[in-house]
Chain A
Amino acid sequence: MVQLLFTILTDGLIYGSYLFIVAVGMTVIFGVQRVLNVTHGSFYAFGAYLAAYLGGIWYDHELPDFGGFVIIFLAAIVVGVFFGILIERGLLKHLYGKDEHIVVLATFAAFLALEGVGLFIWGTDPYFFYQPQAMLGFVEILGMTYDYYNLSLIVLALIISLAIWYFLSRTIWGRLLRAVIFDREISQAMGVNVTAVFLGTFILGTTLGALSGAAIAPTISVLPGIGVEVIVLAFAVVVIGGMGSIPGALIGSILVGVVRAAAVHEFPQAEMFVIYAIMAIVLVFRPEGLFAPPAVRKI
């Protein structure tokens, strides 16, 4: 029984960490810009592809193993900065103030276009980048084997959440960001450069999206369509936690991860059902999500 509970908790934390890393970028962007960014799936995919591509070259040349970890962060930054500027300046800045549905459709269109671009650049062959996962090995805890790489995702999720907390509550930029979240127009009137805040936020969200793909790449086969599945899961987590709430994304991810792990161990047929069941229950009893404050309706 103890082993079962431990296994469910560990599996749930690993999966929850994965979900949080994927969803946090989307949450940050929605929290500040009120943009439900469907292109997040593309950033995940491009992060994974660039990491796997560079990693393939790196390991083909038999360079030091640790380089794979540097590549993960490098790929995330390159993809995040490039696509952050491209999508925010090239698309979103023309849509601020427009109906949110139009913005969602525009990002969906961009997502489809980027799927095609990805196919054009990387082709249909899968890319493998398993070395970082393989080199770390595994450990046996309470009779269950876990690999260090997946356990390290828990640490990565923790670092990201702490870094975002520190950024928002302890830095000038974070305070400016919170001011913009609270009231965009007043912030602008007080001299806050909202355009720069939006661009910076979007680059941050994009980089987090790309980091999630790059960090997951060593555990998967990187191939066309990987961004599609991710966007659905990320959306579910964001809805459960509360649109734009980072603590909500964290708690929502862990909740989904642990409940899903319990289902896998005890009721395997229900493993996907439970994720969307949680989402439906939350929407029924708390439509704004677990942690988002109820929105004030302006009349």
Chain B
Amino acid sequence: MKHRALRLAAVGVAAVLTTFGVAVGNAVAKDKMVIAVPTFLTGGGAPAFGIPARNGTELIIQAINKGQVPAPYNTKGIAGAQVEAIIYDESGGGAKQVTEYRNKVQKLGVDMFAGFVSSGTCAAVTAVAEELKTLTLYSTCGTPRVFEELDKNPKYVFRTMSHATADGVSLAHYVASKYGSANGYTGINQNYAWGQDSWRDFDLAMKVLAPKIKGSTKGQWPKIFAGRYGAEISALLKSPEDLVHTSFWGGDLEAFIFQGLARGLFKKKQFLMSVAGTAAYRLGKKLPTGIVLGSRGPYGIYANQLIDTPMVKWFNNAYVNRYGTQPTQPSYQYAQAILGAKFAYEKAAAANGGKWPSTDQVIAALEGATFQGVATEVRMARSNGHQGVTDHAWGVASFDKELGLPVVSDVMHFKGDCIMPPDGMDSVTWLKGGMKGAKCD
């Protein structure tokens, strides 16, 4: 009786795992590889980041399996293996995510990870990834601390886009070029690592690139997910500075925009919104006209509107047809990381005589390499070849009534080597030292 119950339980568990497409510890049979993909499926991060990221992942993996991705990725699968994604929820904080990471490696035997939205999660799982010797490609999380403090000699961890310092530096370049006569800048940023780092990098870069435009010491620091910004809007309205920097995202950004619009804030101040691209399509006509809009690179609205390559055209069309909305920056960034995995495994397999490569061989193939993402080229050119360098773009947002979509104009592009610290130098030292070694020609 007891054995029968155990058998039934085993069958039940297996059925559940099969139903939900979970791979049961089969990391060596390479007709199939399993990629764990963490992203926010619940909570405040889901609408702006998690769901577009999940959609981009599903789209690119299905297309890879069918061989439908344009060249140079137009072969089926990854090094011949069909790809299965375990897309799971990144919510719950660092401790929970460390447990999730261990479970995916030790119980499910996944081949690798690709994803992670939050800088907090990346900071939490970096040491575990190295400990468990599991290839991990960070697609989106921005904190420079990953390779500057937490993992100075990375082996298993890579990041397939520029880190957050590039956002602040490229924005400062844009401001210096377009708003050189502004009388000053202030800011409103969420009071946690992302908001503080974003302000710090922008502020330090402005001191170098536009020293005549003075920064305020009375920037606003509401709690993340605060939702109500009445007093902050009053403080911004009475502040003397022309420019306002914000790295708000998700529901906070949307709530701030609704509350600011109702008080005429965006007509009185020039806003610089570093991740407004995540909300642009959802807000549509409610996106304030004239804001400087960022997408953490040439992703989302910049790619959809301005990049005319077969890869972007295919991705955009496939995404719109499938999900009924335009892809945003996380869709591109997650797809970019998956393409990085395909590039690395296939390069390693080719060097291995066509056989399935070891993790060490895949790492060797990706270190220092250059591969084509969906919207931009990715050069793994920092932190011993583990930190990606990608280009950036900034422009001014408005709503195009004919297209029925938000668009950007007055766009400037910035090369990765102009806006990222040189190899071996940490961001703050580089910024405080006058950004020496930046190649902006």
Give B205-249 as 1s and 0s: 1 = Cβ < 8 Å from A's Cβ atoms. Answer: 000000000000011111101111011101101100000000000
Q: Which of A60-68, A73-81, A130-138, A203-211 contacts B (4 or more CB under 8 A)?
A: A130-138
A126 to B51, CA, bound (A): 11
- B258 in contact with A145 (CB, 8 Å): no
Is the Cβ of A269 less than 8 Å from the Cβ of B221?
yes
Give which listed residue, B251, B263, B264, contacts A226 with CB less than 8 A.
Answer: B251
Query: Are A225 and B235 also in contact (CB < 8 A) when A128-B286, A220-B258 are?
Result: no
Q: Which of A219, A224, A226, A261 has the largest count of B CB atoms less than 10 A from its CB? A: A224
A187: interface (CB < 8 Å): no
B183 → chain A, closest Cβ, in Å?
18
Question: Are B234 and A265 interface neighbours, CB within 8 A?
Answer: yes
Q: Are A223 and B251 in contact (CB under 8 A)?
A: yes
CB 8 Å contact bits of B45-88 with A (1 = contact, 0 = none): 01100110000000000000000000000000000000000000
| Residues of chain B within 8 A of A136, CB atoms compared | 262
Total A-B pairs, Cβ < 8 A: 134
Q: B43 — nearest CB in chain A belongs to which residue? A: A225
Residue of A nearest to B261 (CB): A134
Residue in B closest to A229 when the chains form the complex, CB atoms? B225
B254 on interface, CB distance cutoff 8 Å: yes
**Cβ contact within 8 Å between A15 and B228:** yes
Min CB distance, A82 to chain B, in Å? 23
| Interface membership of A72, Cβ < 8 A | no
| Contact A7:B238 (CB < 8 A) given known A15-B231, A229-B227, A268-B218 | yes
With a cutoff of 8 Å between Cβ atoms, the chain B residues found around residue A146 in the complex are 263
Bound CA–CA A99/B309 (angstroms): 66
Known pairs A15-B230, A133-B262; A126 contacts B251 (CB<8 A): yes
Of B44, B234, B261, which one neighbours A11 at CB under 8 angstroms? B234
Nearest B residue to A140, CB-CB: B264
Residue of B234, B255, B283 with highest tally of chain A CB at under 10 A = B234
Are A271 and B222 in touch, CB under 8 angstroms? yes
Taking residues whose C-beta sits less than 8 angstroms from the other chain, chain A's interface range is 35 or more
Q: Which of A149, A226, A268 has the most CB of B within 10 A?
A: A268
* Chain B interface main SS type: helix
Complex CA gap A192/B399 in Å reads 62
Determine whether A18 belongs to the interface, using a CB cutoff of 8 Å to chain B: yes
**Bound Cα distance from A146 to B264, whole angstroms:** 9
Q: Are A226 and B230 in contact (CB under 8 A)?
A: no
Given the interface pairs A223-B47, A226-B251, the reply to whether A144 lies near B258 with Cβ below 8 Å is no
Q: Are A223 and B221 in contact (CB under 8 A)?
A: no
* Interface membership of A25, Cβ < 8 A: no
A253 within 8 Å of B (CB atoms): no
| Minimal beta-carbon separation of B149 from chain A (angstroms) | 23
- A interface: dominant SS: helix
Q: Are the CB atoms of A138 and B264 closer together than 8 Å? A: yes
A267 to chain B: closest residue by CB: B218
| Chain B nearest Cβ from A259, distance in angstroms | 11
How does the 8 Å CB contact mask read for B118-146 relative to A, with 1 for contact and 0 for none?
00000000000000000000000000000
Q: Nearest-CB distance from B363 to chain A (Å)? A: 34
Query: Is A11 a contact partner of B230 (Cβ separation < 8 A)?
Result: yes
User: At the interface, yes or no: A147 with Cβ under 8 Å from chain B?
Assistant: yes
Across the interface, B231 reaches (CB within 8 A) one of A219, A223, A265, A272, namely A265
Interface size in chain B (residues, C-beta < 8 A)? 41
Q: Are A261 and B41 in contact (CB under 8 A)?
A: no
Most-contacted residue by chain A among B226, B228, B261 (CB, 10 A): B228
B181 contacts A by Cβ under 8 Å? no
Q: CB of A221 within 8 A of chain B?
A: yes
Q: How far is the CA of A130 from the CA of B261 in the complex (A)?
A: 10
A228 to B226, CA, bound (A): 11
Contacts of B227 in A (CB 8 A): 216, 220, 226, 229
Judge whether A150 and B264 touch: CB under 8 Å.
no
Which A residue's beta carbon lies closest to that of B186? A268
Residues of B within 8 A of A126 (CB): 47, 251, 254, 282
Residues of A with C-beta under 8 A to B222: 271-272
Hey, which chain A residues are within 8 Å of B235, CB to CB? Answer: 264-265, 268
Q: With CB as the reference atom, state the residue of chain A lying closest to B254.
A: A221
Q: Which residues of B contact A228 (CB under 8 A)?
A: 225
**Which residues of the other chain, B, contact A221 by a CB distance below 8 angstroms?**
47, 250-251, 253-255, 258
Report A-chain residues with C-beta under 8 Å of the C-beta of B286.
128, 130
Closest to B267 in A: A145
Q: Could you tell me if B221 and A124 are in contact, using CB atoms closer than 8 angstroms?
A: no
Residue A183 is within 8 A (CB to CB) of chain B in the complex: no
Q: Give chain B residues whose Cβ lies under 8 Å from the Cβ of A260.
A: 231
User: Is residue B352 within 8 Å, beta carbon to beta carbon, of the partner chain?
Assistant: no
How far is B255's CA from A18's CA once the two chains are assembled, in angstroms? 15
Given contacts A18-B228, A226-B227, A268-B220, contact A219 B259 (CB under 8 A): yes
B262 cross-chain contacts in A, Cβ below 8 A = 133-134, 136, 138, 147, 149-150, 219
A26 at the interface (CB under 8 A from B): no
A-facing mask of B264-285, CB < 8 A → 1, else 0? 1100000000000000001100
Which chain A residues lie closer than 8 Å to B237 at the CB level? Answer: 144-145
B46 touching A144, Cβ below 8 Å: no
Q: Assess whether B177 is interfacial by the CB under 8 Å rule.
A: no
Residues of A within 8 A of B255 (CB): 219-221
In the complex, chain A residues 1-30 whose Cβ is within 8 Å of any chain B Cβ: 3-4, 7-8, 10-12, 14-15, 18
- Could you list 13 examples of A-B contacts with CB < 8 Å? A7-B234, A14-B230, A15-B228, A126-B282, A130-B261, A138-B263, A143-B238, A145-B237, A145-B265, A225-B225, A226-B225, A260-B231, A272-B223
Given contacts A18-B228, A228-B225, 14 further A-B contacts (CB under 8 A): A124-B42, A125-B47, A138-B263, A138-B264, A144-B238, A149-B262, A150-B259, A216-B227, A221-B251, A221-B255, A224-B42, A225-B225, A264-B220, A268-B219
Residues of A within 8 A of B (CB): 3-4, 7-8, 10-12, 14-15, 18, 119, 124-126, 128, 130, 133-134, 136, 138, 143-147, 149-150, 216, 218-221, 223-226, 228-229, 260-261, 264-265, 268-269, 271-272
